Structures are given as C-alpha cells and as structure tokens.
Amino acid sequence: MRTIFTDKQIAELKKHPCVWHVTQRSVHYTYEFKKRALDLHIQGIKPDDIWRSAGFHVKVWKKDYCRYTLKDWKRMVKRGGLKSLTRPSGVQADGGYKRARSPENDRVRRLELQVQYLEAENAFLARLRANRAESNSGLSKNTRSSEN
C-alpha cells in the first residue's frame, strides 16, 4: 500500500531542502540528496538513518520505503550513471520499466499504440462518411451483401 500524504505533510515536505517536488502520492528528491544518500549507504549507514539525519520523519512512510528507494536509485545509477539521478522519478512500482528496457522497444511500443489509434480513427471516419452519404441521398444504405 502506498503512502498518501496529507496537505499538512505536503506543505512540510515542500519546505525541506532535500525535496525537489512533492505530490499527494510521491516525493521527488534533489540530485544532491540522492547522491549523498547513496554515498552514505555505501559507507554502511542504514537507509532509515540517512533519511532521519536529513531531517525527515521516517514514520510517515511505509516500512522499508527508504531501503527500496535507495535500491531504485542504485539500479538507475547502474543503468544510466549518476546523470540518471537528475530525472524526477524513479523506477515504476508496477514494473513498467521492464516493458521498455531499450529505446527501440519503447519506440516500437509507441508506434504500435499510434497505429491502433489511427485504425480506430479511420474506422470512425468511415462510419461518419457512410452516415453522411446516407443522409444526403435520402435513401437508406444497404449494408447487407447481395447474395443473388
């Protein structure tokens, strides 16, 4: 179950120097905090202690939130280097990162979705043209095949 922040918690998190952006369901941290947290974790400091030392109230989040967040950041750094920490979000909890591991797979998926959209649009326009032709002719259009 995901943590949902109250308006008061959101306001408090927005004031925190380590928070870049916050919504009701997620917290996006600054690059500096992410890098520092990874460095501290490598030194053997526990994830919850890292968040506490930065001034966060760890009890706000679900159990093991800090550990899994660090795990996601490590995965991001392993795949894309430290530069990947500049992106506002981490790995999707639903496993969405597995579907598009390469830019080519992502491109193919986007093109497949675009084809589906265009096919639906063409079908809609064909029905629209048929309805318009029917209303302009004054006759009802025979949609049955002639099997004589």
In a domain, 148, yes or no: no
Split into its structural domains, the chain has a count of 2
Residues 106, 85 share a domain:
no
Is 29 buried (19+), middle (13-18) or exposed (0-12) by CB count in 10 A? buried
pTM of the model: 0.56
Same domain, 63 and 114: no
Residue 122 lies in a domain: yes
> pLDDT: is 144 or 47 the higher one?
47
Domain co-membership, 58 together with 116: no
β-strand pairing of 27-29 with 19-22 = antiparallel
Q: What's the residue count for the chain? A: 148
108-139 confidence digits (pLDDT tens): 777 887 888 788 888 888 988 998 888 888 66
Q: Domain containing 11: what range? A: 7-93
